[in-house]
Amino acid sequence: MTGLLLAEFTTTEKWVVNSFWGVIAVVMVYAALRVVTTKNVVHAALWLVVVLAGVAVQFLFLGAEFVAVTQILVYIGAVIVLFLFGVMLTRASMGDDETVADEKRAMAAVVGVLLLAVMAFALVDSFDDVEITADGPQSVTTVSDSIFSQYIVPFEAVSVLLLAALIGAIVVARQD
């Protein structure tokens, strides 16, 4: 009984879980469309919160509790907050902002489609017809064991990368 949502769902019929998954996916797609179509930068950030919260719930359905909570802590609690903070410090106009770059839409659409194609290919290529079953929540011990043994080199590389970015930001921001 150490599940967040799964305690209830593992015993339930599969179609119930699948339909919940579908409802959340539809909401996410709608919110994602609003992120790129709205003219108000603050509204775009708030729609992005809906998308990211949806991702967190989808992770819960897959039994990846730790990843779901990290998604909330890092993306909603930090990235979006900093994003909103930056927008409000610089251009917090109420109502629609007509200067939102329209001429870059075509390029953005191309990049978006390309990304979608790459990710869809990667997913289909690696999972094809593997059925993903959630056998209860994934334990944190498993996650930490694989990070600190099998994936220790990428983990340390990412840490060094982030540290370098941090120092770079300080160097750029310092006046003296």
Partner 1 sequence: MIAAITDPWWFQTTLRVVGGLAAVLLVAGTLVYLHLFKMVSFMQSRLGPMEAGPFGSLQLLAEVGKFIQKEDIFPRKADRFVFAAAPFVVLMSTFLLVVVVPGGPDAWFVDSEIGIYLGMAVSSVSVIGILMAGWGSASKYSLLGGLRATGQLIAYELPLILAVLGVVIQAETMNMQGIVLAQAEGEIFGWGAIGNPYILTQGVAFLVFLVAMQAELTQTPFDMPIAESELVTGYMTEYSGMRFLLFFIGEFATAGVFSAIAAVLFLGGWYIPGIDPTAGIMNVLGPIVLISKVVVLTFIVFWVRFTFPRFREDQLQKLAWKVLIPIALANIVVTGVLKVVF
Residues of this chain that bind partner 1 (CB under 8 A):
1-4, 7-8, 12, 42-43, 46, 49, 65-66, 69-70, 72-73, 76-78, 80-82, 84-85, 88-89, 92, 94, 137, 139-140
Distance of CA 59 to the CA centre of its chain: 10
Smallest distance from partner 1 to CB 85, Å: 5
Identity of the residue, 92 or 110, whose beta carbon is nearer to partner 1 in the bound complex: 92
Identity of the residue, 115 or 146, whose beta carbon is nearer to partner 1 in the bound complex: 146
Identity of the residue, 12 or 112, whose beta carbon is nearer to partner 1 in the bound complex: 12
Gap between the Cα atoms of 145 and 123, Å rounded: 25
Gap between the Cα atoms of 95 and 93, Å rounded: 6
Q: CB–CB of 41/92 below 8 Å?
A: no
Token pair in block for residue 20: 């919940």
| C-alpha closest to that of 17 among 3, 29, 30 | 3
Smallest distance from partner 1 to CB 136, Å: 11
Identity of the residue, 100 or 110, whose beta carbon is nearer to partner 1 in the bound complex: 100
